[in-house]
Amino acid sequence: MRIVVIGAGIVGAAVAASLTRRGAQVTILEARHPGSGTTATSFAWVNSANKDPESYFALNHAGVRAHHEFAGQRTTPWFFPTGNMEWAVSDEHRAALSARMEKLRARGYPARWITAGQARELEPDLICPPDADYAFFPEEAHVLPALLLSRLLGEAKDGGARIRYRAAVTEITTDAVHTEDGQRHPADIVVSCAGRWTAQVAQLAGAHVPMLETATPGSTTVGLLTTTAAQPARLSRVLTTSALNVRPDGGGRLLLQALDLDQHADPGQPPSPGDPLPGEVVRRLTEVLSGTEGTVAERVQVGRRAMPADGRTVAGFAEGAGRFYVLATHSGITLAPLLAELATQELYGADAAMLRDFRPDRFTAGAPFEALQPARRPGEQ
């Protein structure tokens, strides 16, 4: 079977790798370079703790487990199954965290309360507010997206996939995909993994898959990420608080996110490392980890999240668009390995029950839909 995958981000790479395992003839078309979309600007936290409705929670929880299975028992350079620690100080955050813990226990999601002393044992450099409520989510993880992407693309190439970079798609017909360089790529099936460009790609196939726009400062699709210079503080896992979210980013660097400051991030004018906005983010780090005094911002990015218009994942063949299969999700890092396997099943004729609530036909052109904005736990990306 000849399959063209559009997009070489984390989802497209995972799909391509999965398809080559089944023996498909895969061509990956990437308009820019691998990971140049949302993959490169993700907090990359693997979790399902604040995902609703129930079917979306179940999908993401299965995605968490799929990451563990993909990594197996070996040590990998891209996957760090060290969990997430969250703590709450304000009354509002305490109430939200308590309600979430109760719901997660009912759903069978690994989560437990811990003391300040136990939190310090997990992270010795943690500055522990004595009056905080602490929760630990041991199954959660984080990834280094570039390394995971290289692993997946490498497997796809080893399996025979052809990768064409700077190959923007201009036309999708019943038997081929055409690119702006004049090339024609024969296809029995086309799989769109185009991230925030999904709507435009779907339109070329005669499908309607609306996405939230990503250019307006302060919108839910825009997020600020600050990477520190290498520093000596010890950290091995994701930390989430009401003011700052932190994870290791390799080489002694830390990746920082302050969701309340996202409203000031402008994709058209990203701040420089020495500007006041990333300066405030780094200042907050000194209130979370000891040994970070004097740390400076080394890199600042304004991320643009790929989010379907109703906030829910899209997965399936587009109605009336022939053999055109769409994958689009706000949870790309968490879901990539799982979506790749489920999509592969469906491309080879087996229905994936877990995807039934996420079909693109809910977006029939002109029909109303409920614009659900996904709840965002501290650090959600």
For residue range 152-178, list pLDDT tens digits in order: 999 999 999 999 999 999 999 999 999
What average pLDDT does range 244-260 have in this prediction?
Answer: 97
pLDDT band per the 50, 70, 90 thresholds, residue 374: very low
- Whether residue 150 is found in the same domain as residue 208: yes
What's the N-to-C CA distance of the chain in angstroms?
A: 35
Decide if pLDDT at 371 tops 70: no
pLDDT digits (tens, 9 = 90+) for 2-39: 999 999 999 999 999 999 999 999 999 999 999 999 99
- Whether residue 221 is found in the same domain as residue 272: yes
Return the bridge partners of 27, or none.
4, 162
* In-domain check, residue 50: no
* In-domain check, residue 371: no
- Whether residue 31 is found in the same domain as residue 93: no
- Whether residue 153 is found in the same domain as residue 262: no
- Whether residue 177 is found in the same domain as residue 155: yes
Task: Give residue 322's pLDDT.
Answer: 80
Decide if pLDDT at 379 tops 70: no
Instruction: Count up the domains in the chain and report the number.
Output: 2
> How far apart are alpha carbons 79 and 77 in whole angstroms?
6
Average pLDDT of the chain to the nearest whole number? 94
- Whether residue 129 is found in the same domain as residue 192: no
- Whether residue 300 is found in the same domain as residue 225: yes
User: What is the value of pTM for the model shown?
Assistant: 0.94
CATH of the domain at 327: 3.50.50.60
pLDDT band per the 50, 70, 90 thresholds, residue 218: confident
Decide if pLDDT at 372 tops 60: no
pLDDT band per the 50, 70, 90 thresholds, residue 370: low
* In-domain check, residue 72: no
CB 238 within 8 A of CB 379: yes
In the three-class reduction of DSSP (H, G, I as helix; E, B as strand; rest coil), residue 32 is classed as: coil
pLDDT band per the 50, 70, 90 thresholds, residue 373: very low
CB 262 within 8 A of CB 99: no
Domain boundary among 275, 304, 333: 304
Distances (CA, A) of 342 to 19, 63, 69, 143, 350: 11, 11, 15, 21, 9
Decide if pLDDT at 376 tops 70: no
What own/partner pairs with CB < 8 Å and gap ≥ 24 does 116-121 have? 119/85, 119/87
> How far apart are alpha carbons 176 and 37 in whole angstroms?
24
What average pLDDT does range 213-234 have in this prediction?
Answer: 93
Decide if pLDDT at 375 tops 80: no
- Whether residue 221 is found in the same domain as residue 300: yes
Decide if pLDDT at 378 tops 80: no
- Whether residue 8 is found in the same domain as residue 133: no
In the three-class reduction of DSSP (H, G, I as helix; E, B as strand; rest coil), residue 94 is classed as: helix
Task: Give residue 368's pLDDT.
Answer: 56
Decide if pLDDT at 229 tops 60: yes
- Whether residue 98 is found in the same domain as residue 225: yes
Decide if pLDDT at 377 tops 60: no
Q: Residues with Cβ < 8 Å from 203, sequence gap 6 or more?
A: none
> How far apart are alpha carbons 21 and 83 in whole angstroms?
30
Nearest to 56 by CA among 361, 318, 307, 348: 307
CB 187 within 8 A of CB 176: yes
Domain boundary among 266, 286, 304: 304
* In-domain check, residue 265: yes
Task: State the maximum Cα–Cα separation within the chain, in Å, rounded to a whole number.
Answer: 64
- Classify residue 356 by its DSSP letter: G
pLDDT band per the 50, 70, 90 thresholds, residue 365: low
- Whether residue 204 is found in the same domain as residue 326: yes
| Range of lowest pLDDT (254-258, 261-265, 324-328) | 261-265
* In-domain check, residue 73: no
Task: Give residue 108's pLDDT.
Answer: 96
Q: What percent of the chain has pLDDT over 90?
A: 91
- Whether residue 155 is found in the same domain as residue 300: no
64: number of CA atoms within 13 Å, CB side? 24
- Classify residue 50 by its DSSP letter: T
CATH of the domain at 298: 3.30.9.10
Peptide bond into 77 cis (omega under 30): no
> How far apart are alpha carbons 328 and 198 in whole angstroms?
7
* In-domain check, residue 53: no
Segments forming the whole domain that contains residue 173: 2-42+145-214+308-363
* In-domain check, residue 298: yes
* In-domain check, residue 34: yes
What average pLDDT does range 311-324 have in this prediction?
Answer: 91
Angle between helices 332-347 and 145-158 in degrees, nearest 10: 20
Decide if pLDDT at 367 tops 60: no
Domain boundary among 268, 284, 304: 304
- DSSP annotation string for 276-344: HHHHHHHHHHTTTBTT-TT--EEEEEEEE---BTTSS-EEEEPTTSSSEEEEE-TTHHHHHHHHHHHHH
Sheet containing 176-179, strands listed edge to edge, beginning at the edge strand earlier in sequence: 169-172, 176-179, 184-186
pLDDT band per the 50, 70, 90 thresholds, residue 68: very high
What average pLDDT does range 255-284 have in this prediction?
Answer: 96
